[in-house]
């Protein structure tokens, strides 16, 4: 792997083609301070450019996945709003868009992103997991769309993405009340794929799933992620056209023949990395 930028928030762990990006402020419940928002898109860009990386796990160190936005960030916003109203509003809009773009870097990456969630997953952490492709939870997890409890509407993705992951009425209730809910509810609604015994078990399951995905054709994986994200935000006919164009260009790959040959011989296919950017 090429050398990654340093981060004051994330610890980077690697096992072959799988990278685990661990939020590492356990004494602050992995509260999402400015280092989180600044470092996440930079790290995602670097990981995305390293074609030997094929899958990503996001986890949290300590007792919790993340308690959400660090309170110091709200203090900065309060100070900002004491300025001239028009300019303050413009600056706040820019700040919100920065936070939105930071999380969207997960969605825009070619890498499948798996969230390994335990303990608290509150506020901004819910925005974070909604940007991931797969979510796994420990039994002890406690979710909440916390923003309503501090007098605001969530503004970095939950209200836009969650209703496309779970029933609209459930998403509305959770956003309007801010009530806590657990792993079993999340699994029943389809927010998480599976529930595991504890933090160690959910991290292990996430790494195992990432390793399984990393064995597949990286070109096909990139196509699946691109097409599913596109289809979520477009009509069926648009989505069908998009995948037709994608496969018309990408299905010439030797990966197809390697996969077929491996199936015929009951062997494991070995797929080459994607090409590095020029």
pLDDT tens digit sequence for 203-243: 999 999 999 999 999 999 999 999 999 999 999 999 999 99
* pTM, rounded to two decimals: 0.94
Q: Collapse the DSSP code of 13 into the 3-class scheme (helix H, G, I; strand E, B; otherwise coil) and give the result.
A: strand
pLDDT band for position 1 (50/70/90)? low
CATH superfamily of 10-214: 2-enoyl-CoA Hydratase; Chain A, domain 1 (3.90.226.10)
Give 218-265's CATH code, choosing from 3.30.1240.10, 1.10.8.100, 1.10.12.10, 1.10.3720.10: 1.10.12.10
**Extents of the domains making up the chain:** 10-214, 218-265
Distance CA(74)–CA(78), nearest Å, equals: 6
% of the chain residues with pLDDT over 90: 80
In the block, tokens 């868009």 appear at 97
Fold agreement between 10-214 and 218-265: no
Contact present, 156 and 97 (Cβ < 8 Å): no
Q: What is the pLDDT of residue 69?
A: 93
Q: What is the pLDDT of residue 229?
A: 96
Contact present, 154 and 175 (Cβ < 8 Å): yes
Distance CA(273)–CA(221), nearest Å, equals: 12
pLDDT tens readout for residues 15-55: 999 999 999 999 999 999 999 999 999 999 999 999 999 99
pLDDT band for position 190 (50/70/90)? very high
Contact present, 228 and 165 (Cβ < 8 Å): no
pLDDT higher than threshold 80 for residue 195: yes
* Paired strand residues for 134: 114
Distance CA(88)–CA(161), nearest Å, equals: 27
């Amino acid at each position: 792997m090429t050398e990654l930028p340093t981060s004051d928030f994330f610890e980077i762990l690697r096992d072959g083609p799988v990278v685990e990006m661990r939020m590492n402020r356990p004494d602050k419940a992995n509260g999402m301070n400015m280092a989180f928002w600044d470092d996440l898109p930079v790290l995602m860009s670097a990981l995305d450019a390293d074609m030997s990386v094929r899958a990503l796990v996001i986890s949290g160190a300590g007792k919790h996945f993340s308690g959400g936005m660090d309170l110091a960030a709200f203090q900065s916003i309060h100070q900002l709003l004491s300025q001239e109203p028009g300019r303050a509003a413009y600056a706040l809009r820019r700040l919100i868009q920065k936070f939105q773009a930071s999380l969207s870097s997960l969605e825009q990456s070619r890498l499948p992103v798996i969230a390994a969630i335990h303990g608290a997953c509150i506020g901004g952490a819910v925005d974070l997991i909604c940007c991931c492709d797969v979510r796994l939870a420990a039994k002890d997890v406690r979710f909440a769309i916390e923003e309503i409890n501090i007098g605001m509407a969530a503004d970095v993705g939950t209200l836009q993405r969650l209703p496309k992951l779970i029933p609209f009425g459930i998403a509305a209730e959770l956003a309007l009340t801010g009530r806590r809910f657990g792993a079993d509810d999340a699994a029943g609604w389809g927010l998480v794929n599976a529930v595991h015994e504890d933090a160690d078990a959910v991290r292990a399951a996430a790494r195992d799933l990432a390793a399984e995905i990393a064995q597949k054709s990286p070109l096909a994986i990139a196509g699946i992620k691109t097409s599913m994200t596109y289809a979520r935000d477009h009509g069926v006919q648009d989505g069908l056209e998009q995948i037709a164009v994608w496969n018309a260009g990408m299905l010439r790959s030797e990966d197809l023949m390697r996969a077929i040959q491996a199936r015929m011989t009951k062997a494991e296919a070995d797929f080459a990395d994607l090409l590095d950017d020029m």
